[in-house]
Each structure stands twice: as structure tokens, then as C-alpha cells.
Chain A
């Protein structure tokens, strides 16, 4: 696709050197241990994220799913060091062994964009309207690499070719792009320095299916082509099923369930994962009976006063007194783990959760 533009030999040589240097970067490994994030508000402490641990092995994709307000984006912001000052953060996030939480801006500078980059949720607001797209991509490159503007621009052209945008459009401004093109431009920007770890925060939310498929095929392409590590934040479990090797299901700031995607979707252990799966609309398949769509009654609990027991207890059709009083520990079953007291009864729960009555009957109490 990249048009054979006439580049001077010196420029081509510098660009090749830059490309070589950047593609030598290894995929990053990330281990998050006991991450808790709390905001102090006028009404008390807001426990946005509590004791979240997960691991992204080098060169793999991890899906972070859950409904809105469960702390997915907060985790991503914490990893990028984008949370407001005075946010209470504890725990550690080891990026290739180095803890990246609680660093100063100066300490973060060599890490951000260079080793960990972000594909933001709303591409509409994350591009600067008064600079052309090319300048914005170059800015990121020039901040980290000692190259000339011409080389940076040539690199930006390569990135545009990678995401399927014509190089001429680098001269355009964000308002001249459609929503999907802007999202692709943001992906190009996140790839510009070939960071070892990519954080994609709802990259396709609010896009139509065609655009979503275009963006996701590019994101999957990054994975195949460049072997980067990635955390994909989304509420669309089907996207995770198609893209990620491992998945972490979050509920109300805590990990409800985690494990290899295929296992978690085939044999969910946590009633929340079961509920999420049954609530997810699917296309009909010819000759197969259609599963009814079942919503989960109730809402996410108020995290200013989190319930003392399991956070899902108020919406769980299988909750017992134990669930309402004692917070469950993570129980490991094979490669999966789930924060539920009754992981050994998961088979029974799965069968019950597939019946709409199970959830409807508890609606009275909720």
C-alpha cells in the first residue's frame, strides 16, 4: 500500500536505522500484584479498584472485561500514570521487572509511549484539533528518538500504511477524519515507537460493526505481525473471544474471574461471568435453538460503601448468607481462578444460569 515515495538516500538510511532500532524492542511482560486504587471524595473513600492481580506474558493479549464502572479503565490509567495526583494507589505493576506505579513524570518519560503506549477510548477527544495528525505522530517520535523531523514524518507515513490510511492524509486535521479513521490514526500513533506493551481502552466502543471489524483486524494484525503484548479493555466478550488468549473479568473493582479465554468462556466459574455470557446478544445460527437473552437484575454496588461480603451477592441468584457476609478468596480450578465461595458447584450453577427463571425470580428481592 505504501506508495513508493521518493525519499532521499540519506533519509531512507536514517529511516531504516530507526525502524531497525524500534523493531528490536522486545514484547513486554507485565505483572500486576495487589493493585488497589481509591479516591478520596467529600463523601468518603471511593474504592475504585481493590486487590487486582494479573499477568500479561510477553507477546500475548489479555482481555479486561466487565460492565461500566467496574474499574477497567482505572486500571489502565494507573498503568499509564494518568490518574490524578493524590489518588491512593497501592500494590505494584512490574513492567519487565520494574515497578511503574507511583513514578514521577520525569521518571515516567522514558517509559510512556516508549515501553507502554495507549490506544484511547475516544479518539475524538484524544487528538489535538489544532495540529495536523502527522505532526502529532511526529511529536511522539521526536520526544523519544534522536532523529530529524523528516525521518519522523517518514516513520509516520509507514505507520499510516500499516493501519490502511493514505500517507497524504497525515497533513489533515482530526475533524477531516471519520470516527473510524481517527481511531486508526490513534492506533498508528500508539504503534509509532513500537512499545512493548499496548493498552487498548475500549478501542471499538460506539463504532458500527464494519468499523469495529476493521479496527479489530488491525489490532489483531499488530499482534500477529509485531508480537506486542496487549491489554484490551472492553465490555464486548465476543471481541475478547476472538482476540485474547487470556481474560480477566472484573466486577465492582475486583477480579471476579480470570484464566485462559477459551476455558473461561466455555466453563465460567463465577456466576457473574455466566450472567454476562447469557446477557450477550448473539446472532442466530441456522437450525440451532436460540438461547434467550437474560439480563442481570440490579446494578453495581456503590463503591463508597462496598458490601462486606461478595460484591456480586446482591445480584447473584445463588447467593447465600456466607456470600453476603464474607468476601470470597480467589479459588483456583485448573488454569482458571474465580472469587466465589462455590466454585465446586459451578456446573450446577451454569445449568441454572442458562434458564431465565433463575434470574427473573430473584428480581423480586433486588
Chain B
């Protein structure tokens, strides 16, 4: 692929699980009822190399942000491992955790609420340096200026301004500068452009792309705006209900997806050119609750091709001839061979379509 193939991954997660314990009342606890567990992240493998931007897409509630936050250890993973440049950091605490966080940063979605309105731009960007006890005041000032320079914001005129003086795009650049000032090697960008106007999205995406190459950053780009992913990511992973269902090269995933879920996801995106509008089969219902994960394939409750096999056996993520990896029985016959009594799903054979409302039918 590229020159980066040879390098070791900066960050690597193996079978990562993050479960959240639900709450119980005192009576149910006394009655011995175990509280429900939300399996937000349920066995994810991902690795990101230097200078690589990996895209992570999926519906709301599929665990994208949980993965991002688990990777930077804002959540404590329940099981699995996270390796950061060769060191296992899954369970590190105290000093070591602080050291890790210096190298792994996160950029949040909303630049209006992620910046403290009472601090100046200079103070906001300096804060991580102060927390980590880096440099003297003058050295810190130089680092702040360098970070502002990296995000193309003139330092001299902006360093004493407040976030309220800046536009959305500028604020998001400040949030990126704050993440960069510690010179991290890994950044999670959690929906960094979805709150920004279309006219300025491109410049923030471009900036991320350039920074990743210039500084050798590994970036996890999380977004539900799938079209943007194609512009900066070489590799894309699609998540559904806490698991990766398909991954591969961005152009393959976006233009020729194999998993029925990815196909629906791509078809759902509005197109500007009427000639490109695909035939849409509406995906009914919502993502099932992570507290109540269906047995078998997680997508089987919404998949038009689902058969008994899908509802009984969860497929593995398997390599496909084109280089994609897909978690679907249509593209993997091993489970069907092991359980020949169950009907195997086939592409193009829709088993049932529950109608999703009168208007959806007439919309055609």
C-alpha cells in the first residue's frame, strides 16, 4: 500500500471490551437481581500506524465513541488489551496513565462546549503543559505558539482572545492545537467536523490530514458523516452494536460495501446528483440496546437477508478476496458447513420486509 506498511502500529487493541454496569435499586439488589450490563464495546480489534488515519463509522449508539474513549483510557476497558508502541497500557494507573495520556489525546465534537469560556486561547492550550509540568513559562509560551502555528491560527493576535471571539472552525482548530501541544503520537478525533458548517469542514479535515503526515500522528477519525471519511482515511472500519462488521480500504468500503449493514448505511447517504441515488431499502427500527444484544449475528434483527443461521451463530470477521474483512455468513461459509441444518443467507434474497409506516411505502 504505502510506505507506512512496514512500520509498527502506534496503537493496537485486541478483543477490546468495555461494558457498563447498569444501576439497580436497593430492593432489586437485595432480591439478588444482577444489574443489566450494557455491552457498549464487545470485542474490537483495531490497529493504527504512524501517519495513518483510520476512519470509524456507524450509527449513533453503536459504540464508536466508546472505542475512542477506551483507547485513550477515559474509560477502563472490561477486558482485552491496548498496546501503545509495544507497551500494554490496558490497566496502567497513576503516573504511567498520566504519561500515556500525554501521548494519546482526544478532540471532541462540539468546539462550543469543549473549550472553557473563561480562559483565553493561550491559557486553554497551555493548560495541558501545566498539568504535565512541562517547561518553564517561556518554554510553554513557545510551545503554545508553535501549536497555534500548526493549526494555522496567527498566535500574536489570538493568544489573548476568548473562545467566544472565535468562529466554530477556529474553535475546533484551538481544540486541535490543545491536543497537539503535548506532542502526542495518537489522536482520537471524535466527530471533529459534524458541528461545523460545510463551507469550513474541508479546511479542518485538510488540517488533520496534513498534521498526521507532518507529525507522524496515528489518528482515529470517528464520524457518522461517512462521506467525509473518504477524503482523509485510507482504512475504514464500520461498527455495529459494539463490534466491527466490516473493514478495509476506504474506497472499497464506501463504493462497494459487502456487509448488508454497510450497504444500507451507504445507501442512506443523500446524493447531490440524482443519477447516483441508489435504490434504498429502508433499515427498519433502531440499533438494539447494548443491554440486550441479540444472539447470533448482531445485525440479524434488522437484516433483510437474515435466516435461522444468522439468528443462531455469530459470524466471524473474515478476509475477502478484494482485501476487505466482513462479518457476515453471506460471505463466509464456514458456519454454514458446521451447521448444515440451518438455512444460510444469500445475497439478493430478502427474507422478510416488515413495513415501516405508510409513508415509507408511498415514498418509493
Contacts and interface: CB of A to CB of B under 8 A. Distances in A.
Contacts of B277: 242
B202 interface: yes
Given A224-B363, A276-B198, A214 B282 contact: yes
Interface stretch (B33-41, B72-80, B222-230, B337-345): B222-230
Contacts of A282: 227, 271-272
Interface string B211-229: 0000000000000111110
Interface string B330-352: 00000000000000000000000
Contact of A210 (B205, B264, B360): B264
B273 interface: yes
A163 B271 contact: no
A293 B206 contact: yes
Given A276-B199, A284-B255, A239 B363 contact: no
A217 to B, nearest CB: 5
Interface string A262-280: 1001000000000111011
B60 interface: yes
A50 interface: no
Interface residues of A, number: 57
B256 interface: yes
B29 interface: no
Contact of B363 (A68, A220, A276, A297): A220
Contacts of A265: 272
Given A221-B360, A242-B277, A281-B228, A213 B199 contact: no
Interface in A111-146: none
Contacts of B364: 224
Interface in B240-290: 250-251, 254-256, 264-274, 276-277, 280, 282-284, 286
Contacts of A222: 359
Given A217-B282, A283-B230, A293-B206, A212 B268 contact: yes
Interface residues of B, number: 57
A330 interface: no
Contact of A209 (B169, B265, B355): B265
A281 B230 contact: yes
A180 interface: yes
B161 to A, nearest CB: 14
B356 interface: yes
Given A283-B226, A284-B230, A235 B197 contact: yes
Contacts of A279: 198-202
Interface string A147-170: 000000000000001111100000
A68 B197 contact: yes
Interface of B: 58-61, 167-169, 194, 197-203, 205-206, 224-228, 230-231, 250-251, 254-256, 264-274, 276-277, 280, 282-284, 286, 355-364
Given A213-B282, A279-B199, A283-B269, 4 more contacts: A164-B358, A214-B356, A281-B225, A281-B230
